[in-house]
Structure formats: structure tokens, C-alpha cells
């Protein structure tokens, strides 16, 4: 997977796989809600919402505080 990422950074498929892995990391590897919120905010500050319309919808969902709070409650 790392070879794919390095060879075509701006490819839609690659970006989709990377975003999926980053979101999965939030839920599977965050040890606290604070850590999950930091990872979520990092996605926004890295500009994922600017890559395309679909990513914008995904990041917008994560930026919605009540939705995130419900998703992160089990962490």
C-alpha cells in the first residue's frame, strides 16, 4: 500500500484508501476521546475537505460536534 501512495499521491483511489485508513485509525487506535478529536481535527487541517465533494461531506460529518460525540463515546 505504501508503494501505491508514493507513486500516485493525487489519485482519487489512493486518496480514498488513505482517508479510509485514517478514519479507521481514529476508531481502532485512539486510546481516548481527546486523541480521537485530535486525529479528526488533523484531517480537517490537512485539507481533506478540499480534495473533492465526497470528501467534503465526510469531513463535514466529522466536524459536526454532536455526531462526533456520539461516535466517540465508546473510546
Tell me how far apart the alpha carbons of residues 21 and 33 are, in angstroms, rounded to a whole number.
18
Q: Residue 8: what pLDDT?
A: 58
Q: What pLDDT does 40 receive? A: 92
Per-residue pLDDT of the chain (75 residues; tens, 9 = 90+): 566 555 555 688 888 999 999 999 999 999 998 999 999 999 999 999 998 899 999 998 888 878 778 888 766
Rounded to 10°, the helix 33-45/65-72 angle is 140
Amino acid at each position: 500500500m505504501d508503494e501505491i501512495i508514493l507513486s500516485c499521491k493525487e489519485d482519487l483511489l489512493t486518496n480514498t484508501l488513505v482517508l479510509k485508513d485514517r478514519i479507521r485509525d481514529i476508531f481502532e487506535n485512539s486510546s481516548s476521546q481527546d486523541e480521537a478529536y485530535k486525529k479528526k481535527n488533523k484531517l480537517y487541517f490537512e485539507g481533506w475537505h478540499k480534495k473533492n465533494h465526497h470528501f467534503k461531506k465526510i469531513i463535514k460529518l466529522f466536524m459536526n460536534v454532536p455526531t462526533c460525540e456520539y461516535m466517540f463515546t465508546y473510546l
